[in-house]
Amino acid sequence: MRKWAPNFRASEVSFDFVAKRMRVPELLIEYYDPNILTNIGRSLGGLLWIDNFTMSSERGKITILCMQVNMNKPLRK
């Protein structure tokens, strides 16, 4: 996020970091604990938040984490 500026043009600005929703399919239900999910997110990079459905274990098929991704580095696989 940055402050509002008059005459802003996205094509003239470089973004070093973006927020990206990442899916972790088929995570075992045993790992749907707030502390474990936070540790998983931090090990992947800059964890911003964990999806509410993921935190409440209501939907156990897909885990969704919001991560801060550095656009100047290649993405991990």
Would you state the pLDDT for residue 48?
Answer: 92
Report the distance separating Cα 64 and Cα 18, nearest Å: 16
Segment (H or E) for 35: helix 34-44
Would you state the pLDDT for residue 66?
Answer: 92
Residue with tokens 């459905």: 53
Would you state the pLDDT for residue 58?
Answer: 62
Token output for 14: 């470089």
Would you state the pLDDT for residue 1?
Answer: 65
The 3-state DSSP class for residue 23 equals: strand
- What predicted TM-score, i.e. pTM, was given to this entire model? 0.65
Output the tens digit of pLDDT for each of the chain's 77 residues: 678 889 888 788 777 888 888 888 888 888 888 899 889 888 888 899 888 877 776 655 778 889 998 888 887 66
Calculate the alpha carbon distances from 22 to 10, 32, 38, 58, 59 in Å. Answer: 24, 16, 13, 18, 15
Segment (H or E) for 77: none
